Each structure stands twice: as C-alpha cells, then as structure tokens.
Amino acid sequence: MAMRPETRRSTILYSTLPLKRLLTLLVLPPLLVLAALLILKGTVPEFTEIIGMANKVAGGWGVFLLAFGSGSQAWRPWRLAWRIPGVQQWLFPDLNGTWRGSTSSNWPSIKAMLDAYEGVADPRHAGALDLLPLKDDAIEMKITASFFRLRVEAKLSATNAKSHSVSARVEWNEHLERFELNYVYNQETPSPESTDEWLHPGAAHLVLDMDANRLDGEYWTRRTWRSGLNTAGLISVVRK
C-alpha cells in the first residue's frame, strides 16, 4: 500500500480524545497552576490582577503544549509522558516506530474469476473461490505520531509499492474497549502489471493490541476498479 507525498495530510491525535478528557487536559493543569499561584501570593489580589495572572498561565500552558506536543525525528519530548503507567490508556497510544509483518490478499480469487471470464481458466482448478489460499506479501509500516500529527507509511515487498496516508485517525472503541487505527492512503507501484495501476487509493482498519505491540485488521483498494480487480485482504504487523 502506498501514498503520494504531495497529497498526504496529517491528522491531529488530540481529536482522538473524548470531549471530557480533552477538556480535562486543556483546562485542569492551568487551573491548578493558577490556584497554586494565588495561594502562594498570600493575599487576595484584585480581580483585574487575577485575570492578568490567568492570561499568563493560559498562554504559558499553550506554549508548553505546542512545544511538548509537537514532534519530529530530532524533537519528541512528549513521548516521555508515555512512560508513565496508564497514560497511553487514558490519552492515546504511542504508535511511533517501524512495524513489520504481512498482508494476505484475495487476489487469487479475483484472478480466477478474471481467467474464467476471459476463457483461459484451467478447468482442473474449478471449485469454491473462498477455498483458494490468500496471496501473502511482506509489509513494513512506519508510523510517525505526536500530539498534533499522525502519518502512516508502508512498503510492500513483492511489488515495491509504497504508500503514505492521506488521512489517519486513532479512535477508542468504547463498545469493544480497544484502540483502532483507521486511515486512507494512496499507493504507488513503480512497475505495475497489466492488471494493476501505478497509483490507486485504499483504506485500512487496524486493531491495536497494546500488550503484544501488534496491529491486525483489513484493507481495501480501488485498484483497477472498472475491471472489477479491486482487492481486499488482511494486515498483521508487529512493532520492532
């Protein structure tokens, strides 16, 4: 799976948080700091002085969030907070890193239907399509995330296809009590076969197993859709 760098669009991870948790994160710390400053002052200040102190505290907290929550290869201070037990479960998981595993595509079933339609199918291979084995391929994913950014890149082994996410989002499934990664991507295949395209979009839905550092789920593509050759399959990757 792959995406075009010029079309990639980052997604803010703080939008993953439920409204109550987001408000708690944004409002509670500066309120505690303001309360501590008022207590340390020892006297009751004028209302205008309180407003001035509140503005300074809010501005300082905003600057801290921007500095602490931003991320790059050289500057990722926010990941220090993820070492605190329970933080990833309360906020959102740290998905940064390289994930390796495999994809399993339904291409053999699609190829069998194509061969039958074109009259080139081997009659000895007739049978139920759902009994055909899936086509496996190695995949390497790189996820870059911060408080304000989430990007997924991937590379397939067999075709050297590369992808970059166009849109990505981590969501907490309250019913199943788990984090899920959903993203849309564009895939570039450098030397596509006649049944493939050099560029096509797709989507993936992956479930995070935080204990096993594992992502498992499904993907869909829009490759050569006019000929009915758009594929789907499974993804399973583990963080290295």
Tell me which of 90, 123, 148 is where a domain ends. Answer: 90
Query: Which residues are CB-contacts of 208 (< 8 A; sequence separation ≥ 6)?
Result: 93, 95, 170, 178, 179, 180, 181, 214, 215
Q: Is the pLDDT of residue 5 over 50?
A: no
| Mean per-residue pLDDT of the chain | 84
Tell me: do 132 and 168 sit in the same domain.
yes
Confidence of residue 66 (pLDDT cuts 50, 70, 90): confident
Report pLDDT for 75: 59
Section 105-129 average pLDDT: 84
Tell me: do 231 and 115 sit in the same domain.
yes
Tell me: do 75 and 185 sit in the same domain.
no
Tell me: do 166 and 221 sit in the same domain.
yes
Report pLDDT for 70: 62
Q: Is the pLDDT of residue 88 over 80?
A: no
Report pLDDT for 65: 75
Tell me: do 110 and 62 sit in the same domain.
no
Q: Is the pLDDT of residue 168 over 50?
A: yes
CA–CA gap between residue 144 and residue 127 (Å, rounded): 44
Burial code (b: 16+ CB inside 10 Å, e: under 16) for 109-141 equals bbebebeeeeeeeeeeeeeeeeebeebebebbb
Beta bridge partners of 239: 99
Q: Is the pLDDT of residue 46 over 70?
A: yes
Tell me: do 115 and 226 sit in the same domain.
yes
pLDDT in tens, 183-231: 999 999 998 888 889 999 999 999 999 889 999 999 999 999 988 999 9
Section 93-121 average pLDDT: 90
Q: Is the pLDDT of residue 56 over 60?
A: yes
Higher pLDDT, 78 or 56: 56
Section 59-88 average pLDDT: 70
Confidence of residue 76 (pLDDT cuts 50, 70, 90): low
Higher pLDDT, 116 or 209: 209
CA angle 35, 67, 168 (to 5 degrees): 110
Q: Which letter does DSSP use for residue 91 in this model?
A: S
Report pLDDT for 9: 44
Section 83-110 average pLDDT: 85
Report pLDDT for 213: 93
Tell me: do 197 and 143 sit in the same domain.
yes
Tell me which of 43, 65, 90 is where a domain ends. Answer: 90
State which amino acid sits at residue 137.
D
Question: Domain containing 107 — which CATH number?
Answer: 2.40.128
Structural domain boundaries enclosing 130: 5-10+93-239
Domain total in the chain: 2
Q: Is the pLDDT of residue 109 over 50?
A: yes
